[in-house]
Amino acid sequence: MEAGLALQAWQYRWSSAAYYACGAADALVDANPCYEELASEAADRQRLWRAFLETADAREDEVRQGDWAVGNATFRDRMGEVRGRPLRRRGRPRKVSE
């Protein structure tokens, strides 16, 4: 959206948003159980997904800063352990003790 490639996420050709938000056929998108649980009717799921895409997310700033895990410190530490991938630390690198 920010790059100006489309006005709405579901208008961008390479996004799965058209599948979820509008019900557009897409052979590359698999069924998502979490999405299916949003509502029993397809039209209701699509409406909810469009609303989700159009609503600001308070965690968006964290994501933009390059962190791959968003959540509280406990969750982030646990994800770092589980994935074996350190979280990016913000700010100046720590000094190494000699």
pLDDT, averaged in runs of 10, over the chain (98 residues): 75 89 92 92 95 82 67 80 68 67
For position 86, what pLDDT does the model report? 65
For position 18, what pLDDT does the model report? 93
Closest CA to 67 of 87, 85, 93, 94: 87
Cα–Cα distance measured from residue 37 to residue 45, given in angstroms and rounded to the nearest whole number: 8
Instruction: Note whether 29 and 35 are within 8 A (CB).
Output: no
Same domain, 33 and 61: no
Same domain, 50 and 65: no
Cα–Cα distance measured from residue 80 to residue 34, given in angstroms and rounded to the nearest whole number: 24
For position 38, what pLDDT does the model report? 93
Query: Is residue 1 situated within a structural domain?
Result: no
For position 87, what pLDDT does the model report? 63
Structural domain of 22: 9-54
Domain count, the chain: 2
Same domain, 61 and 47: no
Identify residue 26 by its one-letter amino acid code.
Answer: D
Give this prediction's pTM. Answer: 0.57
For position 58, what pLDDT does the model report? 76
Same domain, 43 and 63: no
Residue 77 host element (H or E): helix 73-83
Query: Is residue 96 situated within a structural domain?
Result: no
